[in-house]
Each structure stands twice: as structure tokens, then as C-alpha cells.
Chain A
Amino acid sequence: MSSSPDNLLQVKIWRGCADGAYEDYVVPQQDNQTVLDVVTYIQRNLDAALAYRFACRVGVCGSCAMTVNGRPRWTCRTHVSRVAKNGMLEIAPLQNLPVIRDLVTDMTPFFEKWQEARGRFVPGEGPKDTLARVPPEQKERAAASAAIECINCGVCYSACDVVAWRDDYLGPAALNRAWAAYNDVRDGDRVGVLKAVSTGTGCNNCHTHQSCAEHCPVALNPTFSIAGLKRATLKASVKGELSK
């Protein structure tokens, strides 16, 4: 479908930092147009100073997440026809993260919390030349597989009410990653993961609102992962493993 005056999108885009404001743009509507296409059109044709972030454009890199009509979304895989309300789009940066400029947020706190939640592999004591055997049907492997495909887009972090209420909460993405790390049977310090996520800012603060699972673009369920961490930390706490 070619563009026509009757077929125009009214787009509001957040400009500036945290104290910025929305600016209005008019963009021709196209078939199979994504929200990222709209932002790119504005930057290339209407306002070259617009700052936004993207890389792969195919839902792999997790760079292009923004708030679209009030909901956090991956913009490269979000079709305008699915989210526009009466030909209107309101695009803002992700919530719960500091705004650098326009649609670009500072992801530093988000990734620092991945480190804080110990979402990384710690090698064990075994010799380097032995290959760990992890059968696909193993319970831990299945749990890790269910959580592993996170693309680090920050959508769940932006959607989380608890992060909005307390900025020190580790958040669904970091805890989901910690759950995958905890279920890696090759890890040399699995209790270390539980210690990292059982602090005052960790998994037990989750209110199970499930906004993370509702908004996750790759259909992961961080709430389920956090529930697993709650059970595991509770058992470890009763056994006294967390205080060793």
C-alpha cells in the first residue's frame, strides 16, 4: 500500500532527557511496517537529531526496546498495525532506566544487576579435559533451557512494578539469568548464586505480578524462574548453606 494523506500515522516521540517532552510527527503508513521502521523514517527524513538504538532489526540483539503506547516492546518485531490506536503511536524510552537522550536509555544499572545476581559461569575444580555429560532430559538442564534464551532487551525490567518501586531490586532479567546459572550442573559454586540472589534486594521481593512474563518478547517466564530461586534459597537457608 502506498502512502496517502488518508493513510498517515500521527506519532508522538519523547525528546530530551528525563525532563523532556513529546514532539509530534506525521509518518506515511505502509504495509508490514514496524515501530522501528517508523522511528527510522523520522530520523532519516524528518529529524536527523533523533537518538535511538537498534542493531539487528530481526529480534535477536535486544537493542531496540522502547515504550510503545504505554507498553514496553521490542520495536523491530512490533507491527504498527497491531499497536497503533486510531492511527496514533506514542513512543518513549524504556521505563525504570535513566534516559540518556530521546529514546536511548542507560542500560548500565540493568547489566550491573546481572553481575550482582552472579549470572555468570564459575568453573569447578575438575580437570579441564573432562567433558561434562548433561543429558537433555535432566531436570536442571530442562530448567536452564527454559530460561536461557533471554536477549537482554530490558523489556521485563521496564515492565516490573517492583523495580519501579525500589531501584535496588535485581529485577526479572538478572534473576532469570541467575536461575539458568544455578541450574548449570557444571557450575563450581551453585550455592554462590543462591547467596547472591537471597540478599535484601533479591528474589524474595518479587510480588508475582507476572508483568515480566506478560511482556517478554521471546515468551520467557522470569516469574517462574524467580519462584524456583525462592524455593531453592528457602531450602538452602533452612539447611544453613547460605550462612557458610
Chain B
Amino acid sequence: MTPRLYLLQRGTAFVMVPLVITHLVVIMIAVHGGLSAEEILARTRGSAAWAIFYSVFVFAASIHAGIGMQAIAHEWFGLGQRAAAIAGHIFILFLLSLGLRAVFGVYGL
């Protein structure tokens, strides 16, 4: 792993720390009062703040996980450096597509 990849992985982890905490706290508070999924969506739809929040979350998580998967593909599955890098990039795109689809759903596009 090069210093650039190392910085990207540690940097995205750093970005995710407050996002994960906020996500969990908000979910616990929202569900505690007995809110249904429809009621939650009614509050998030059209909210640019939540759309930006979860977009950043999705980008950070996808990049972080993709770099991790690249290492796993090379070290555990025996893929070459280049093949592992390609696998890591594909995994990033896969997570981005899933995550951004969810963000669009929460925002209501």
C-alpha cells in the first residue's frame, strides 16, 4: 500500500467517525419515539442537509471499504497487485451505486 492509499483510507475513516456517531444517535432517537419508515422519509425527503450528509458518508465508506478489499484480494485471495486494484475499484463503484441509490431514495429524487 502506497502512502497515498494509506492517507485515503485513514482520511476516510476519520471522516466517518462523526458521521457514524450522528447516524446511530439519530436512528436511535427517531425509532425510540415509534416513528415508522414513512414518517422518517417524510422528514428526510427534500432535505438537502441529509442528502449531503449521507452522500459524504457513502463516498467515504465506499472508498474506505474498496481500499480494504484491495488488500484482502491481494493478501487472502492471491490476486496480483493490478488485478487486486481493479477488484478494489469495482467494489468502490458497486458500493457507490448501492449507497447513492439509497441517498436518492431518502432525498426523494
Q: Which residues of A contact B (CB under 8 A)?
A: 162, 165-166, 198-200, 204-205, 230, 233-234, 236-238, 242
Sampled A-B contacts (13; CB under 8 Å): A165-B76, A200-B1, A200-B2, A200-B81, A204-B1, A204-B3, A204-B5, A205-B1, A230-B6, A234-B7, A236-B3, A237-B4, A238-B7
Complexed CA–CA distance, A234 and B8 (Å)? 11
Provide the residues of chain B in CB contact with A230, threshold 8 Å.
Answer: 6
A179 CB to nearest B CB, Å:
16
Provide the residues of chain A in CB contact with B6, threshold 8 Å.
Answer: 204, 230, 233-234
Complexed CA–CA distance, A200 and B74 (Å)? 12
> Within the complex, which residue of A162, A165, A204, A238 is in contact with B2, where a contact is CB–CB below 8 Å?
A204
B65 CB to nearest A CB, Å:
16
Is A198's CB under 8 angstroms from B7's CB? no
Complexed CA–CA distance, A204 and B70 (Å)? 13
> 4 tightest CB-CB pairs across the interface, nearest first?
A237-B3, A165-B75, A204-B1, A204-B6
Is A205's CB under 8 angstroms from B4's CB? no
Give chain B's interface secondary structure class.
helix
- B71 at interface, CB cutoff 8 A: yes
Residues 75-106 of B, flagged 1 when their CB comes within 8 A of A and 0 if not, give: 11000010000000000000000000000000
Provide the residues of chain A in CB contact with B2, threshold 8 Å.
Answer: 198-200, 204
Complexed CA–CA distance, A162 and B1 (Å)? 12
Q: Which residues of B contact A (CB under 8 A)?
A: 1-7, 71, 74-76, 81
Provide the residues of chain B in CB contact with A166, threshold 8 Å.
Answer: 74-75
18 new A-B contacts at CB < 8 Å, known A198-B2, A237-B4: A166-B74, A166-B75, A198-B3, A199-B2, A200-B1, A204-B2, A204-B3, A204-B5, A205-B71, A230-B6, A233-B6, A234-B3, A234-B7, A236-B3, A237-B3, A237-B7, A238-B7, A242-B3
Complexed CA–CA distance, A237 and B2 (Å)? 10
Provide the residues of chain B in CB contact with A237, threshold 8 Å.
Answer: 3-4, 7
Complexed CA–CA distance, A198 and B6 (Å)? 10
B77 CB to nearest A CB, Å:
10
Interface-centre pick from A204, A230, A234, A236 (highest chain B CB count, 10 A): A204
Complexed CA–CA distance, A199 and B2 (Å)? 6
A190 CB to nearest B CB, Å:
16
Provide the residues of chain B in CB contact with A234, threshold 8 Å.
Answer: 3, 6-7
A97 CB to nearest B CB, Å:
18
Complexed CA–CA distance, A234 and B14 (Å)? 15
Smallest CB gap from A199: residue in B: B2
Provide the residues of chain B in CB contact with A165, threshold 8 Å.
Answer: 75-76
Smallest CB gap from B74: residue in A: A166
Smallest CB gap from A162: residue in B: B75
Complexed CA–CA distance, A212 and B10 (Å)? 23
Interface-centre pick from B4, B6, B74 (highest chain A CB count, 10 A): B6
